[in-house]
Amino acid sequence: MIAIAKTKPEKGFEIIKKDIPKINDDEILIEVKFASICGSDVHAYVWDEWAKEEFNEFPRIIGHEIGGIVVEKGKNVKNLEIGDFVAIESHFWCNECYNCKVGNFHVCKNMKILGFGVDGGFANYLRIPYRNAIKVPNNIKKEFVPLMEPMGNAVDSVLAEDISSKNVLIVGCGPIGLMATAICKICGANKVITMDINENRLRISKIMGSDYLINPNKDNVYEKVMEITDNTGVDVILEFSGSSEGFKSAIKTIVEGGRVSLLGLYSKPFEFDFNNYFIMKNLRVYGIIGRKIYSTWFKTINLINKIDLTPIISHRIKLEDFEKGFEDILNGKAIKVLFEIS
Ligand SMILES: [Zn+2]
Ligand SMILES: [Zn+2]
């Protein structure tokens, strides 16, 4: 089979040839049909400081947003049949640590992540523990299946608390912000405001259901949000940008007693006025990481057919053309890059 791999500790990936993986009794073999590029894969591609910490072995096959067909199963595998189409929970939990014992599998202390700590799925075949496979109902469009993993992040960000009738500011219109926009609308949010410096992403956020668009390079964020919310401020901020400037300008617009979900990762620590913007405002703040095992997956399965994810997919390419996909994400032309693998 062929696969996209990090072959040495430097920028870029290579296509490698490898034998089809052998499975153990608790694993399944998946023939990968669709896969998509995550922002974290881009960090691995450019080989930044964060990525250097994540890789322990070369070559390492990357990729963790995956959809494919079960083609082989170990003898201990339950509830999955050959031919089932599955999505993948990319976080491998240990089942033994304190966090796993109390049911917080998504923050397992011994977490391994597909495509970083273990070989991933930008390949023709992928072996995984069967408990990491999520059987997908037939009525879900197969090309959307790899997007269910990041959609789970959007689901947890939006639904950390009730969203119905709330005014929401979404900061950062990458794939997760765009999915969150649609989830807010179908879950009954009132006014949804999206914010990004990229006009194309803002345009797509409107297609996904955003009611108001803010470009902080052109608009005064505070004044515009106050105008939209009749001088009240937003009830909820969903932060996906990972930009400290984006976060700081957004947080000034939240109403007292509001709620914030933080998912975007910041490139470095920054100073922030906690007194005035968190404590005095009586905010509730959620750090969002991974997907709750398996409750987020059930929510995602129930929500995905109420949303059209097509506008988010900007590129459909073959594994061999990966460089185009990564470069177009880096230069801001791409939103979600989908690999069609046969
Ligand atoms: Zn990811
Ligand atoms: Zn654990």
| Nearest ligand for residue 106 CA | 2
Q: Residue 267: is its pLDDT beyond 90?
A: no
Percent of the chain at pLDDT above 90?
98
Residue 113 Cα, ligand 1 centroid: separation in angstroms? 9
Contact 270, 249 (CB under 8 A): no
Residue 264's nearest CA partner among 244, 248, 235, 291 is 244
Q: Residue 141: is its pLDDT beyond 90?
A: yes
Residue 303 Cα, ligand 1 centroid: separation in angstroms? 19
Residue 304 Cα, ligand 2 centroid: separation in angstroms? 28
Listed in sequence order, the residues at least 6 apart from 45 whose beta carbon sits closer than 8 Å to its beta carbon are 11, 12, 13, 326, 330
User: For residue 30, what are the β-bridge partners?
Assistant: 70, 126
Residue 108 Cα, ligand 2 centroid: separation in angstroms? 4
Residue 92 Cα, ligand 1 centroid: separation in angstroms? 13
Residue 245 Cα, ligand 1 centroid: separation in angstroms? 23
Is the preceding peptide bond at 59 cis, omega within 30 degrees of 0? yes
Which residue, chain included where needed, has tokens 């459909």? 316
Percent of the chain at pLDDT above 70?
100
Contact 304, 151 (CB under 8 A): yes
Provide the 10 A C-beta neighbour count for residue 255.
17
Q: Residue 45: is its pLDDT beyond 90?
A: yes
From CA 149, how far away is CA 88, in angstroms rounded? Answer: 7
From CA 185, how far away is CA 211, in angstroms rounded? Answer: 10
**Mean pLDDT of all residues in 247-267:** 96
Residue 179 Cα, ligand 2 centroid: separation in angstroms? 29
- Residue 50's pLDDT band (cuts 50, 70, 90): confident
Residue 20 Cα, ligand 1 centroid: separation in angstroms? 24
Residue 260's nearest CA partner among 236, 291, 233, 242 is 236
Distances (CA, A) of 234 to 214, 244, 247, 250: 14, 19, 14, 9
- Residue 305's pLDDT band (cuts 50, 70, 90): very high
**Mean pLDDT of all residues in 192-206:** 98
**pLDDT score of 342:** 81
Provide the 10 A C-beta neighbour count for residue 328.
17
Contact 176, 261 (CB under 8 A): no
pLDDT in tens, 268-285: 899 999 999 999 999 999
Which pairs count as long-range contacts for 14-20, CB under 8 Å and 24+ apart, including other chains?
Answer: 14/59, 15/319, 15/320, 15/322, 16/59, 16/61, 18/61, 18/123, 20/124, 20/125
Which residue, chain included where needed, has tokens 């273990």? 118
Which of 17-26, 49-58, 257-266 bottoms out in mean pLDDT, i.e. has the lowest? 49-58
Residue 317 identity (one-letter amino acid): I
Domains of the chain, each with CATH number or no CATH: 2-150+291-340 (3.90.180.10), 161-287 (3.40.50.720)
The H or E element spanning position 304 is: helix 295-304
Contact 5, 62 (CB under 8 A): yes
From CA 274, how far away is CA 256, in angstroms rounded? Answer: 13
| Nearest ligand for residue 152 CA | 1
Residue 143 Cα, ligand 1 centroid: separation in angstroms? 17
**pLDDT score of 249:** 97
Listed in sequence order, the residues at least 6 apart from 77 whose beta carbon sits closer than 8 Å to its beta carbon are 25, 26, 27, 28, 130
Contact 121, 88 (CB under 8 A): yes
Residue 291 Cα, ligand 1 centroid: separation in angstroms? 11
**Mean pLDDT of all residues in 70-93:** 98
**Mean pLDDT of all residues in 62-90:** 98
Residue 209's nearest CA partner among 332, 316, 311 is 311
**pLDDT score of 237:** 98
**pLDDT score of 290:** 93
Residue 154 Cα, ligand 1 centroid: separation in angstroms? 12
Residue 134 Cα, ligand 1 centroid: separation in angstroms? 16
**CB under 5 Å of ion ligand 1: residues:** 38, 40
User: Which ipTM was obtained for this model?
Assistant: 0.98
pLDDT in tens, 28-41: 999 999 999 999 99
